[in-house]
Chains A and B, each alone.
Chain A
Amino acid sequence: MWEYAPAPESRDIANLKPNYRMFVDGKFVEGTGEPLKTINPGTEEVLAEVSTASTSDVDTAVKAARRAYDRVWSKMPGSERAKYIYRIARQIQERGRELAVLESLDNGKPIKESRDVDVPTAAAHFFYHAGWADKLGYAGYGPDPKPLGVAGQVIPWNFPLLMAAWKIAPALACGNTVVLKPAETTPLSALVLADIIQQCDLPPGVVNIIPGAGDVGATLVEHPDVNKVAFTGSTEVGKIIQRQLAGTSKKLTLELGGKAANIVFDDAPLDQAVEGIVNGIFFNQGHVCCAGSRLLVQESVADELLEKLHARVSTLRVGDPLDKNTDVGAINSREQLAKIKELTESGEAEGAQRWTSSCPLPDKGFYFAPTVFSNVSQAMRIAREEIFGPVLSVLTFRTPDEAVAKANNTPYGLSAGVWTEKGSRILWMAQRMRAGVVWSNTFNRFDPAAPFGGYQESGFGREGGRTGLEAYLDV
Chain B
Amino acid sequence: MAAPTTLPSALADAVRDESSLRRFLHGLPGVDQVGVEQRAAGLGTRSIKKAAKLHAIDLAISMVDLTTLEGADTHGKVRSLAAKAKRPDPERPDVPRVAAVCVYPDMVKTAADELKGTGINIASVATAFPSGRSTMDIKLADTRFAVEQGATEVDMVIDRGAFLSGRYGQVFEEIVKIKEACGDAHLKVILETGELVTYDNVRRASWLALLAGGDFIKTSTGKVQPAATLPVTHVMLQAVRDWKTQTGELRGVKPAGGIRSTKDAIKYLVAVHEVAGPEWLDPNLFRFGASTLLNDLLMQRRTQLDGHYSGPDYVTVD
- The answer to whether the Cβ of B247 comes within 8 Å of any Cβ in the partner chain is no
Contact, CB under 8 Å: A4 / B46? yes
Contact of A1 among B30, B53, B278 (CB under 8 A): B278
Contacts A271-B29, A315-B274, A421-B30; A5 near B35 (Cβ below 8 A): no
- The answer to whether the Cβ of B224 comes within 8 Å of any Cβ in the partner chain is no
Contact of B46 among A6, A272, A307, A325 (CB under 8 A): A325
Question: What is the minimal beta-carbon distance from A284 to any residue of chain B, in angstroms?
Answer: 14
Question: What is the minimal beta-carbon distance from A458 to any residue of chain B, in angstroms?
Answer: 26
Contacts A2-B273, A315-B274, A421-B30; A271 near B50 (Cβ below 8 A): no
Contact, CB under 8 Å: A2 / B55? yes
Contact, CB under 8 Å: A269 / B29? yes
Question: What is the minimal beta-carbon distance from A142 to any residue of chain B, in angstroms?
Answer: 38
Contact, CB under 8 Å: B30 / A269? yes
Q: How far is the CA of A324 from the CA of B44 in the complex (A)?
A: 12
Chain B, residues 33-50, CB within 8 Å of chain A (1/0): the string is 011101100000111111
Q: How far is the CA of A267 from the CA of B278 in the complex (A)?
A: 29
- The answer to whether the Cβ of B292 comes within 8 Å of any Cβ in the partner chain is no
Chain B's closest residue to A270 (CB) is B29
Which B residues are CB-close (under 8 A) to A324?
45-47
Which B residues are CB-close (under 8 A) to A228?
none
Which B residues are CB-close (under 8 A) to A6?
49
Which B residues are CB-close (under 8 A) to A441?
32, 34-35
- The answer to whether the Cβ of A7 comes within 8 Å of any Cβ in the partner chain is yes
Contact of B52 among A4, A270, A271 (CB under 8 A): A4
- The answer to whether the Cβ of B1 comes within 8 Å of any Cβ in the partner chain is no
Contact, CB under 8 Å: B29 / A268? yes
A: contact size bracket? 20 to 34
Contact, CB under 8 Å: B45 / A116? yes
Chain A, residues 187-204, CB within 8 Å of chain B (1/0): the string is 000000000000000000
Q: How far is the CA of A174 from the CA of B179 in the complex (A)?
A: 70
- The answer to whether the Cβ of B281 comes within 8 Å of any Cβ in the partner chain is yes
- The answer to whether the Cβ of B56 comes within 8 Å of any Cβ in the partner chain is yes
- The answer to whether the Cβ of A275 comes within 8 Å of any Cβ in the partner chain is yes
Q: How far is the CA of A442 from the CA of B39 in the complex (A)?
A: 11
Contacts A5-B51, A112-B45, A116-B45; A275 near B35 (Cβ below 8 A): yes
Which A residues are CB-close (under 8 A) to B36?
271-272
Contact, CB under 8 Å: B52 / A3? yes
Contacts A2-B56, A2-B273, A112-B45; A269 near B50 (Cβ below 8 A): no
Chain A, residues 314-335, CB within 8 Å of chain B (1/0): the string is 0100000000110000000000
Q: How far is the CA of A269 from the CA of B35 in the complex (A)?
A: 9
Contact, CB under 8 Å: A272 / B47? no
B: contact size bracket? 20 to 34
Which A residues are CB-close (under 8 A) to B11?
none
Chain B's closest residue to A7 (CB) is B47
Q: How far is the CA of A400 from the CA of B276 in the complex (A)?
A: 32
Question: What is the minimal beta-carbon distance from A450 to any residue of chain B, in angstroms?
Answer: 15
Contacts A116-B45, A267-B30, A271-B238; A276 near B35 (Cβ below 8 A): yes
Contact, CB under 8 Å: B45 / A2? no
Contact, CB under 8 Å: A7 / B48? yes
Which A residues are CB-close (under 8 A) to B48?
4-5, 7
Which A residues are CB-close (under 8 A) to B138?
none
Contact of B32 among A7, A272, A307, A325 (CB under 8 A): A272
Chain B's closest residue to A111 (CB) is B47
Q: How far is the CA of A270 from the CA of B39 in the complex (A)?
A: 13
Q: How far is the CA of A2 from the CA of B59 in the complex (A)?
A: 10
Question: What is the minimal beta-carbon distance from B190 to any residue of chain A, in angstroms?
Answer: 23
Which A residues are CB-close (under 8 A) to B56?
2
Question: What is the minimal beta-carbon distance from A272 to any residue of chain B, in angstroms?
Answer: 3
Interface positions of A from 258 to 305, Cβ below 8 Å from B: 267-272, 275-276
Contact of A269 among B32, B45, B47 (CB under 8 A): B32
Chain B, residues 118-136, CB within 8 Å of chain A (1/0): the string is 0000000000000000000
Contact, CB under 8 Å: A5 / B52? yes
Contact, CB under 8 Å: B281 / A2? yes
Q: How far is the CA of A421 from the CA of B34 in the complex (A)?
A: 13
Chain B, residues 293-316, CB within 8 Å of chain A (1/0): the string is 000000000000000000000000
Question: What is the minimal beta-carbon distance from A230 to any residue of chain B, in angstroms?
Answer: 31
- The answer to whether the Cβ of B197 comes within 8 Å of any Cβ in the partner chain is no
Which B residues are CB-close (under 8 A) to A2?
52, 55-56, 59, 269, 273, 278, 281
Residue among A1, A271, A324, A421 facing the most chain B CB atoms (10 A cut-off):
A271
Which A residues are CB-close (under 8 A) to B47?
4, 7, 324-325
Contacts A269-B32, A270-B29; A275 near B39 (Cβ below 8 A): yes
Q: How far is the CA of A272 from the CA of B49 in the complex (A)?
A: 28
Question: What is the minimal beta-carbon distance from A270 to any residue of chain B, in angstroms?
Answer: 4
- The answer to whether the Cβ of B162 comes within 8 Å of any Cβ in the partner chain is no
Chain A, residues 1-24, CB within 8 Å of chain B (1/0): the string is 111111100000000000000000
Contact, CB under 8 Å: A5 / B53? yes
Chain B's closest residue to A3 (CB) is B52
Q: Could you list 28 examples of A-B contacts with CB < 8 Å?
A: A2-B52, A2-B55, A2-B273, A2-B278, A4-B46, A4-B49, A4-B52, A5-B49, A5-B50, A6-B49, A7-B49, A112-B45, A267-B29, A268-B29, A269-B30, A269-B32, A271-B36, A271-B238, A272-B32, A272-B34, A275-B35, A275-B38, A275-B39, A324-B45, A324-B46, A324-B47, A325-B47, A442-B35
Q: A2-B269, A5-B50, A269-B32 are in contact. List 13 more A-B contacts (CB 8 A).
A: A1-B278, A2-B52, A2-B56, A2-B281, A4-B46, A116-B45, A269-B30, A269-B35, A271-B36, A272-B31, A272-B34, A442-B35, A442-B38
- 6 nearest A-B residue pairs (beta carbon): A272-B35, A7-B47, A324-B47, A272-B32, A269-B32, A5-B52
